[in-house]
Amino acid sequence: MNESQQDYDLLIIGGGINGAGIAADAAGRGLKVLLCEKSDLASGTSWASTKLIHGGLRYLENYEFRLVRKSLQEREILTAAAPHLIRPLAIQIPQLPHSRNAMLLRAGLFLYDNLARRKLYKSSSSIRFAPDNPLNPAIRHGFQYWDGAADDTRLVVVNALQAARHGASVMTRTECVNLEAGPDGWRATLQGKQRITVNSRAVVNAAGPWVNKILGRTSREQAVLPMRLVKGSHIVVPRLYEGEQAYLLQHVDGRVIFVIPYLNKFTLIGTTEEEFSGDLDQVKISTAEISYLIAMINLYFRKSVLHSEVVNSFAGVRPLIEEEGESATRVSRDYWLDLESMPQPLLTIYGGKLTTYRLLAEEAVDMLATIFPALRPAWTRQAKLPGGDFDIVENLFQEMVQRHAWLGAELIGRWLRSYGTLSYDILQSATSLAELGQHFGHNLYQQEVDYLCQQEWARVAEDILWRRSKLGYFFSAAETATLSRYLQQTQQSV
């Protein structure tokens, strides 16, 4: 890095959804931005979500009408911005004797339908379950409403791409190990393959659950707001049922669990919510959490699930704002932005959720207007995210089938769900599978791997198989090792 590259307007620490969203917004408003992430993009809390863009139906129980309303508004905006990554999903709520009162649920769903203007999502309704449905035969009635199924990790990556398109620098596997305030801003020490120092007029601390750790590397000794770390865990099992609908299951303890069709061949189940106080770099699901989720499935579904059938699990820690006396399930998922101007501008992000990241980013950059008076107006509300510049995914699919039928429907479908129109950046001028280079298995070819490394900051097999795609569910150990060797050879030759 040469001397001219060392000075920035804004250093953003944390490559999760909030950091990537702020980087995109700020770069698009004319700031010179550096985003640094100690691991890979979306490698912390952002990849461990329930894969939903949703208003938060259950937040209505806590009277968080403002949070639900803005979440529903953002649901519309994000679905239009990234139709390849977010799609409307029907969610059914089966009713058992211990479930919430049906009249209250109906009233809550009415509010959910009408708190914000809807264009892309249908209204809720009462439903009667058919005799051949996958649920326990005792369940006859329920409700159906709509939210968005989302690819959380790709949403982070396309925001980083958006930032880069507007001139931002994105540095992964680069940790901010020290922040020192100077007369004109911050001097940050970054540790990646090399140790470098950069200057920045202002800093955004978007480190998620590590936010207090970053604050400890400045002159501040503790956060303005006390934080509650809540672990949410999920399991993935072989597909439980046919159909594209998801389910929201109500436990007798008041918690809710989502059951969602996943990657065509699996079912995603989660989330749990429990206090967390361990090592943030070693977050894992517990046996008790697995048992809890399986017990919920076995209560509601005809088909039972065994512990041995769990094909994958993941857990993440949500950095929530502490609310004394509230349980982990009732602590607000809203966010708080704290801008401190002394000794130099430092904006700290507390809380937040996947659905509201764009609005959070817009408000965060708005707060920096006093520091950067030439800041351009907010712009992301109407913007398409990279790959999302189309209207109907079925039309895009047909277009690619007509022009590149040799790719096959399965590969085309996966590419369009992951990359949208960025699929053409991967394809380039190839006219046959042979021209896509080495085949690593499961329709992953060298040309896609090279694209992910050159354009999307992938470094190791895990980045590609679990965050840029979800092919890790299908790759064998031997296939993963072959991909790893290729990546090592590629990086050595650079």
Query: At 478, which CATH number?
Result: 1.10.8.870
Q: Determine, yes or no, domain membership for 78.
A: no
Instruction: Judge if 213 and 352 occupy the same domain.
Output: yes
* Enclosing domain of residue 485: 393-493
The stretches in the chain having pLDDT less than 70 are: 1-5, 219-224, 323-331, 494
Instruction: Judge if 260 and 292 occupy the same domain.
Output: yes
Q: Determine, yes or no, domain membership for 214.
A: yes
Q: Is the pTM of this model over 0.85?
A: yes
Which residue among 355, 382, 409 closes a domain?
382
What local confidence, expressed as pLDDT, does residue 324 receive?
Answer: 61
How far apart (Å, rounded) are the C-alpha atoms in residues 180 and 199? 10
Instruction: Judge if 236 and 106 occupy the same domain.
Output: yes
- Say if residue 88 is preceded by a cis peptide, omega within 30 of 0: no
Instruction: Judge if 376 and 432 occupy the same domain.
Output: no
Instruction: Judge if 184 and 218 occupy the same domain.
Output: yes
What local confidence, expressed as pLDDT, does residue 3 receive?
Answer: 37
- What letter does residue 216 receive in the DSSP assignment? T
Instruction: Judge if 25 and 96 occupy the same domain.
Output: no
How far apart (Å, rounded) are the C-alpha atoms in residues 187 and 171? 17
125: nearest Cα among 115, 138, 112: 112
What local confidence, expressed as pLDDT, does residue 333 receive?
Answer: 74
CB atoms within 10 A of CB 477: 7
Q: Given phi > 0 = left and psi -120 to 50 = alpha, else beta, which region is 325?
A: left
Cα 325-328-329 angle, rounded to 5 deg: 110
What local confidence, expressed as pLDDT, does residue 321 receive?
Answer: 78
- Say if strands 33-36 and 169-171 run parallel, antiparallel, or are unpaired: parallel
Q: Determine, yes or no, domain membership for 295.
A: yes
Number of domains in the chain: 3
Which residue among 382, 403, 418 closes a domain?
382
Q: Determine, yes or no, domain membership for 444.
A: yes
What local confidence, expressed as pLDDT, does residue 222 receive?
Answer: 53
Q: Determine, yes or no, domain membership for 51.
A: no
Instruction: Judge if 458 and 432 occupy the same domain.
Output: yes
- Say if strands 227-238 and 312-321 run parallel, antiparallel, or are unpaired: antiparallel
CATH of the domain at 362: 3.50.50.60
**3-class DSSP state for residue 219?**
coil
Q: Determine, yes or no, domain membership for 180.
A: yes
Tokens representing residue 139 in the block: 């369940």
What local confidence, expressed as pLDDT, does residue 1 receive?
Answer: 39
Instruction: Judge if 400 and 461 occupy the same domain.
Output: yes
Q: Determine, yes or no, domain membership for 326.
A: no
Instruction: Judge if 145 and 197 occupy the same domain.
Output: no
Instruction: Judge if 142 and 242 occupy the same domain.
Output: yes
Instruction: Judge if 250 and 127 occupy the same domain.
Output: yes
What local confidence, expressed as pLDDT, does residue 62 receive?
Answer: 87
What local confidence, expressed as pLDDT, does residue 330 receive?
Answer: 59
Instruction: Judge if 41 and 129 occupy the same domain.
Output: no
Please state, in angstroms and as integers, the Cα–Cα distance from residue 345 to each residue in 82, 174, 175, following that order: 32, 22, 20
Q: Determine, yes or no, domain membership for 57.
A: no
What local confidence, expressed as pLDDT, does residue 2 receive?
Answer: 39
- Say if strands 7-13 and 195-205 run parallel, antiparallel, or are unpaired: parallel
274 bridge partner residues: 231
Which residue among 270, 286, 321 closes a domain?
321
